[in-house]
């Protein structure tokens, strides 16, 4: 994106006023209105959609989306948390299951049917996004096993993607419980100086060579994408790192895509086992 495009995008999104446009050196060469004519796609208000992938075939917890937590299904709890987030224009569930789609419709949500051949959640979300109108520029993938996901965290991811330099964003939080460090279900993260993610792993990273109080970080289960990038990564070939760790996001890093980490104090409970269901019910019962 060049300087002209970036400036017009900021104006059209309300981050700059047309009067402040006069401060730019290229104002002498072209008027604001000719820029609108040149780049009309920037002046269409961006909309944000949440898509929640859900499937019945979980190996660790069969029929996971339909498991009941304190009288409500897991998928409905995730949906209702997402609906509380401000600035979100639509929430959909992407699934290959008619049973899940019927259940989703029963509590008033919209379902998008996806092929059974989708290899992972991101591929399912990408397929569903193709059914949305072009005005949906930001797509947020909220994992279907996050019944306690914070609406404020979703808002923070959407806000991060207002920066044209950010194409993929995801939250990370500190690991405070030492037992979580060795839990392979909790994905660990390391970042660079600009909070660009360097690597994800199910192992503890970095390796601890001392007894110092190093702060470890974990991944929280949602991603925000620019729609164009979401479509691009769908076509990337798999990698050995991805297969070894069973983490699809390593494919994006391997092929050079940058993922922006958004630091948060929110800690989630991903539901992967019957014990996780009990943990969530305990939190809800407090």
Q: Over the stretch 76-89, which tens digit does the pLDDT of each residue have?
A: 999 999 999 999 99
Reply yes or no on whether the pLDDT at 18 is more than 70. Answer: no
User: Mean of the pLDDT values across residues 90-100?
Assistant: 96
pLDDT number for residue 23: 46
pLDDT above 90 as % of the chain: 69
| 54 in the same domain as 15 | no
pLDDT digits (tens, 9 = 90+) for 174-194: 998 888 998 998 999 999 999
| 276 in the same domain as 146 | yes
| 280 in the same domain as 156 | yes
195 by Cβ neighbours in 10 Å (0-12 / 13-18 / 19+) ranks as middle
Q: Which residues of 221-250 are buried (b: 16+ CB within 10 A; e: fewer)?
A: bbbbbbbebbebbbeeeebeebeebebbbb
pLDDT number for residue 30: 47
Q: Which tokens sit at 94?
A: 């992407």
267 by Cβ neighbours in 10 Å (0-12 / 13-18 / 19+) ranks as middle
| 187 in the same domain as 97 | yes
pLDDT number for residue 285: 83
Task: Return the CATH number at 125.
Answer: 3.90.550.10
d(CA 24, CA 282): 56
Q: What share of the chain is helix, strand, coil (3-state, %, to 5)?
A: 35, 20, 40
Q: Which residue has the tokens 């330099």?
A: 165
| 130 in the same domain as 20 | no
| 64 in the same domain as 124 | yes
| 35 in the same domain as 126 | no
pLDDT number for residue 1: 55
d(CA 230, CA 263): 22
pLDDT digits (tens, 9 = 90+) for 104-152: 999 999 999 999 989 889 999 999 999 999 999 999 999 999 999 999 9
| 58 in the same domain as 38 | no
pLDDT number for residue 6: 57
| 131 in the same domain as 271 | yes
- Domain limits for position 9: 3-42
| 63 in the same domain as 27 | no
User: Mean of the pLDDT values across residues 30-57?
Assistant: 69
Domain count, the chain: 2
| 131 in the same domain as 14 | no
């Amino acid at each position: 994106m060049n300087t002209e495009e970036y400036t017009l995008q900021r104006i059209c999104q309300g981050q700059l006023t047309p009067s402040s446009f006069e401060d730019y050196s290229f104002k002498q060469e072209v008027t604001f209105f000719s820029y609108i004519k040149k780049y009309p796609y920037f002046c269409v208000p961006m909309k944000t959609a949440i898509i929640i992938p859900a499937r019945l075939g979980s190996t660790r917890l069969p029929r996971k989306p339909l498991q009941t937590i304190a009288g409500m299904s897991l998928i409905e709890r995730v949906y209702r948390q997402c609906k509380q987030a401000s600035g979100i224009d639509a929430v959909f569930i992407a699934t290959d299951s008619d049973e899940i789609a019927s259940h989703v419709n029963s509590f008033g949500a919209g379902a998008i049917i996806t092929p059974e051949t989708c290899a992972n959640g991101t591929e399912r979300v990408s397929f569903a996004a193709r059914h949305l109108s072009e005005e949906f520029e930001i797509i947020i993938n909220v994992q279907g096993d996050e019944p306690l996901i914070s609406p404020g965290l979703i808002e923070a991811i959407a806000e991060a993607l207002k920066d044209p330099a950010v194409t993929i964003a995801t939250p990370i939080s500190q690991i405070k419980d030492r037992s979580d460090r060795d839990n392979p279900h909790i994905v660990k993260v390391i970042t660079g100086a600009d909070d660009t993610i360097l690597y994800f792993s199910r192992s503890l990273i970095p390796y601890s060579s001392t007894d110092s109080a190093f702060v470890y970080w974990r991944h929280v289960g949602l991603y925000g994408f620019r729609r164009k990038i979401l479509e691009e990564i769908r076509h990337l070939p798999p990698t050995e790192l991805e297969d070894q760790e069973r983490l699809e996001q390593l494919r994006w890093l391997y092929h050079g895509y940058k993922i922006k980490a958004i630091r948060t104090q929110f800690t989630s409970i991903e539901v992967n086992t019957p014990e996780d269901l009990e943990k969530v019910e305990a939190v809800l019962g407090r």
